[in-house]
């Protein structure tokens, strides 16, 4: 195990220390996504931490499924995450939903979180749901907005075998 790893930040060639810990996946743009037991490397010289997340595609799919299964409305950041999971630019989103770029920008803006109609939100969820069977999605369509509060989804995800699953 004499890998010649160099720190990306300080270029130190000191051996980078490996450890396993839960990782807060802020890079996905959502505030409360915790990945369990992720192998990370810390540079003993500058303290920078480097992480390598397995199964990115499956991870993003698991997060997307959790989002479209929420009973409360989506937060702006969650709308953005789902839009990106479809591979759409903001302009694509506007075009497909027969609206304008400024409207899409408000849907994804933290300052005006209520401006997306339930009908449009359901349509977005259905589009994300396409391509993978989601057991009780129809039930969720009826329940959405029963909880009036808008709260970001909170997830703890575990990479078991080859799949990302919600930790219980």
User: 9 or 151: whose CB is closer to Zn ion?
Assistant: 9
Distance CA 59, CA 55 (A): 6
**Shortest Å, Cβ 52 to Zn ion:** 16
**Residue 50 phi, psi (nearest 5):** -125, 140
User: 5 or 66: whose CB is closer to Zn ion?
Assistant: 5
**Shortest Å, Cβ 51 to Zn ion:** 14
Distance CA 108, CA 64 (A): 16
Count, residues in the chain: 168
**Shortest Å, Cβ 10 to Zn ion:** 3
**Shortest Å, Cβ 4 to Zn ion:** 14
Give 159's contacts (C-beta < 8 A, 6+ positions apart). 35, 36, 37, 38, 54, 55, 59
Residue 104 has a CB neighbour count (10 Å cut-off) of 24
**Shortest Å, Cβ 5 to Zn ion:** 10
CB contact at 8 A, 19 and 142: no
User: 14 or 151: whose CB is closer to Zn ion?
Assistant: 14
CB contact at 8 A, 155 and 166: yes
User: 15 or 90: whose CB is closer to Zn ion?
Assistant: 15
DSSP 16: P
Please give the residue ranges that form the binding site for Zn ion (CB under 5 A).
7, 9-10, 12, 43, 45-46, 48
Of 59, 70, 58, which is closest to residue 34 (Cα–Cα)? 59
User: 49 or 105: whose CB is closer to Zn ion?
Assistant: 49
């Amino acid at each position: 195990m004499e890998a010649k790893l160099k720190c990306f930040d300080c270029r130190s060639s000191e051996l980078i220390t490996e450890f396993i810990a839960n990782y807060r996946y802020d890079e996905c743009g959502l505030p409360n996504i915790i990945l369990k037991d992720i192998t990370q490397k810390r540079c003993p010289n500058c303290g920078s931490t480097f992480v390598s997340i397995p199964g990115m595609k499956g991870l993003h799919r698991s997060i997307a499924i959790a989002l479209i299964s929420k009973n409360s409305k989506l937060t702006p950041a969650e709308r953005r995450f789902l839009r990106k999971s479809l591979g759409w630019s903001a302009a694509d989103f506007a075009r497909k939903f027969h609206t304008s770029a400024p409207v899409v920008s408000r849907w994804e803006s933290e300052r005006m979180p209520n401006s997306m109609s339930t009908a449009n939100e359901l349509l977005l969820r259905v589009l994300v749901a396409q391509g993978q069977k989601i057991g009780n999605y129809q039930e969720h369509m009826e329940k959405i907005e029963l909880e009036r509060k808008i709260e970001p989804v909170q997830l703890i995800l575990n990479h078991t075998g080859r799949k990302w699953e919600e930790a219980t």
